[in-house]
Amino acid sequence: MEYELLFFTSVANEDRIGEIKREIDEIITGRGGKISADFNDIGKRKFAHPIKKQTHGFFSFCRFTIEDAENLPELNKRLGLNDKIMRHIIVRASEIGKPIGAPTMPDARQDTRPERPSTRRTEPARVTPQNVASEKKPTEETIKVEMAELDEKLNAILDESPE
């Protein structure tokens, strides 16, 4: 499988970058890997925050292949022990350019969490004489008629025998 190694050194080691690259090549080949492309120097860049009291570093990267992925932890360990390399990261080459983070869900499987009730304050409905007049309260007679209709429907349902 193909991987990419990105690393940076202190700016003081910029003139010894050739030596550092040879050491990295030896570490990768010693673990069963093979450099598939030459090292590419990105150059001197400013850090987002100081690392080991330094504000700039010299960045470089290379692609390599390694058949046995079980050798990657040992490769990481060896690169971490090299005192000339400040930081490094190994990424699968197939993952480069893909968005970082959780995989996006297809449209059919969108968020299935239940909808939470709104916490927005709503104004209570204003009571006006027109609203009160338009609301008709059911009379006792209409309630009896509705109950009689429900009783008839219920009896019809219960009288049906299951087939």
Tens of pLDDT along the chain (163 residues) come to 899 999 999 998 888 999 999 999 999 998 888 998 888 898 899 999 999 899 999 999 999 998 888 888 999 999 999 999 999 999 988 887 777 665 655 555 555 666 776 666 666 666 666 655 556 666 777 777 788 888 888 888 888 766 5
Shared domain for 77 and 137, answered yes or no, is no
Domain-located, residue 117: no
Residues in contact with 41: Cβ distance below 8 Å, sequence separation at least 6, in sequence order: 17, 58, 59, 60
Which of 45, 75, 95 terminates a domain? The answer is: 95
Same structural domain for residues 74 and 141? Answer: no
Same domain, yes or no: 19 and 90: yes
Domain count, the chain: 2
- Residues 145, 85, single domain; the answer is no
CATH number of residue 55's parent domain: 3.30.70.60
Say if pTM beats, i.e. exceeds, 0.75.
no
Query: Is 46 a member of any domain?
Result: yes
- Domain of residue 150 covers 130-159
Do 83 and 136 fall within a single domain? no
Alpha-carbon distances, residue 136 vs 132, 139, 141, 150 (angstroms): 8, 9, 14, 21
Q: Report yes or no on 155 lying in a domain.
A: yes
Considering 95, 111, 139, which residue would you say is the last residue of a domain? 95
pLDDT of residue 69: 82
